[in-house]
Amino acid sequence: MRVATETHRRNGVTLVAVRVEHDGEQRQRVRLANECAGPVWPPRENGLPAPGWDDGGWEGVLDPGDRTPLGYATPGEPRDPPVSVAWTERAAAGPPDASAAVAEFGDPRPPRDAVPEPDTALPDAVRDWLGDVSSRASEDGETPEDREAVSALAARASVLRERVDE
């Protein structure tokens, strides 16, 4: 197993580029450990750490001849070397591990257009109340209580409209 690395420190963050090359003849599971003074900030896919990554490094399976590029960030100062091979073991042939399968699912939220629009029709009780306020306003002139109630209703409707637009 050969590992080549390069680091760049900028604005308090160390960027670590790694290329791991499997030069053996058997399929291998490998664990690469971060040696920098700080936790791993792994690459993310759909808001989740990419498969194989945790706060200490990367673990994955390599076939003979595989050359895999990896990269991550860390707030820690770089060290030489920034990455080490923590261990390797022979990997069985078979399906990918569960974390890779779960990562393929992606974002669990339904698409925005799959969520029905809220019903914007006024409830009968609100429609009746507004009709009563309108009648009083045209007959006797609006009252201070009516003005306050209608103003409160408008403010509440505005808040609800903003929630729907989110």
Q: Where are the domains of the chain?
A: 2-108, 124-165
What is residue 161's predicted lDDT score, i.e. its pLDDT?
76
Tokens of 96: 């990918």
12 Rama class: left (phi>0) / alpha (psi -120 to 50) / beta:
left
pLDDT at residue 16 is higher than 90: yes
CATH fold, domain 2-108, is: Immunoglobulin-like (2.60.40)
Q: Once rounded to an integer, what is the mean pLDDT over residues 105-119?
A: 77
As a whole number, the mean pLDDT across the chain is 86
**Cis-peptide, bond into residue 116, ω within 30° of zero:** no
Kindly state the average pLDDT of the residues 78-105. 82
